[in-house]
């Protein structure tokens, strides 16, 4: 298999490079192999689950496998872990080192101190690290402090702000999220921003947003709202949203989750159930 064809095939995520390979991958394939081990080039990042076995297979099929192993470990040793940043920040400000998923151990004064640190932060990467905490615990200061970060031209920051706003009960946040949904402006962020301000009658608007979104990556993120909203609103159902998502998404993993949701609640349409029996999904 020529190098150009190898690069194209490896991005499909269907195992074709392994099928077509005859013996070891030659040395000129090494940069492309290294790139594929540190990045997920296929569309659906969830299909492979853990990527360690996949990366190992790629590396061991190369004549430069010893070099690739060194490069692989050197690369990840140099990466900055966002959890490490938060642990270090908490260790600096507070006597106990806490993980971000243990926020229930933080006192109100500690959370407030971290919130003031967020307001003062100017570096985008560190800004995201601060915001990650407020995806788990409500931001304790005036929500208007968070609005300024909606102007930051960084996708991950925008999403982090949306999730932080989604934990705050406020009419103005609901109005902002609804307006963005109706305008089709980053609908996945708008859904997460709606968060605790969601009302059952909003499902029709969510369905409309799904139907008007052609981008599969955006649909993929919108689909995560079902499990997110189910946790925020345990007594609320999202049957129309789940069914519309199944018909619109190309992601097998996401469709499977929504199919399970409909089956558990005994709301699976008969034609869809018949299609499932023939393995159409």
Task: Express each pLDDT in 47-59 by its tens digit.
Answer: 545 566 667 777 8
- Cα separation, 24 vs 63, in Å, equals 6
Report the pLDDT averaged over residues 232-258: 86
pLDDT given at position 192:
92
Q: Are 47 and 253 in contact (CB under 8 A)?
A: yes
pLDDT given at position 110:
79
- From 44-58, 67-81, 148-162, 207-221, the region with the lowest mean pLDDT: 44-58
pLDDT given at position 97:
33
- Cα separation, 184 vs 190, in Å, equals 9
pLDDT given at position 14:
62
- From 23-37, 67-81, 144-158, 244-258, the region with the lowest mean pLDDT: 67-81
The proportion of the chain whose per-residue pLDDT surpasses 90, expressed as a percent, equals 23
Report the pLDDT averaged over residues 81-90: 49
Asked whether residue 161 carries a pLDDT value surpassing 80, the answer given is yes
pLDDT given at position 190:
93
Across the chain, mean pLDDT equals 80
Tell me the CA distances in angstroms from 173 to 1, 15, 178, one per residue in order: 54, 45, 9
What's the chain's length in residues?
281
- List Cβ neighbours of 197 (8 Å cut-off, separation of 6 or more): 166, 169, 170, 171, 173, 174, 177
Among 203, 181, 200, 199, CA closest to 190: 181
Tell me how far the alpha carbon of residue 97 is from its chain's centroid: 26
CB atoms within 10 A of CB 214: 8
Q: Are 211 and 173 in contact (CB under 8 A)?
A: no
Report the pLDDT averaged over residues 4-30: 78
- From 111-125, 154-168, 201-215, the region with the lowest mean pLDDT: 111-125
The proportion of the chain whose per-residue pLDDT surpasses 70, expressed as a percent, equals 79
């Amino acid at each position: 298999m020529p190098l150009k064809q190898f690069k194209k095939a490896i991005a499909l995520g269907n195992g074709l490079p392994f099928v077509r390979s005859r013996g070891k991958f030659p040395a000129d394939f090494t940069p492309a192999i290294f790139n594929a081990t540190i990045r997920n080039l296929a569309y659906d990042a969830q299909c492979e689950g853990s990527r360690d076995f996949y990366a190992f297979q790629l590396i061991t099929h190369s004549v430069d496998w010893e070099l690739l192993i060194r490069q692989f470990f050197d690369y990840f040793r140099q990466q900055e872990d966002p959890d490490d940043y938060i642990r270090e920040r908490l260790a600096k400000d507070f006597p106990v080192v806490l993980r971000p998923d243990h926020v229930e151990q933080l006192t109100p004064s500690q959370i407030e101190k971290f919130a003031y640190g967020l307001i003062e932060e100017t570096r985008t990467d560190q800004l995201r690290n601060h915001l990650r905490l407020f995806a788990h615990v409500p931001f304790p200061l005036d929500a208007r402090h968070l609005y300024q970060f909606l102007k930051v031209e960084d996708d991950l920051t925008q999403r982090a702000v949306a999730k932080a706003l989604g934990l705050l009960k406020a009419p103005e946040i609901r109005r902002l999220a609804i307006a963005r949904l109706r305008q089709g402006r980053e609908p996945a962020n708008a859904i997460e921003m709606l968060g605790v301000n969601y009302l059952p009658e909003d499902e029709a608007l969510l369905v409309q947003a799904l139907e008007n979104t052609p981008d599969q990556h955006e649909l993929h993120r919108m689909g995560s709202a079902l499990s997110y909203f189910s946790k925020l609103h345990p007594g609320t159902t999202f049957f129309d949203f789940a069914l519309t998502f199944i018909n619109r998404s190309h992601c097998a993993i996401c469709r499977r989750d929504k199919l399970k949701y409909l089956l558990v609640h005994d709301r699976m349409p008969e034609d869809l159930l018949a299609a499932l029996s023939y393995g159409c999904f």
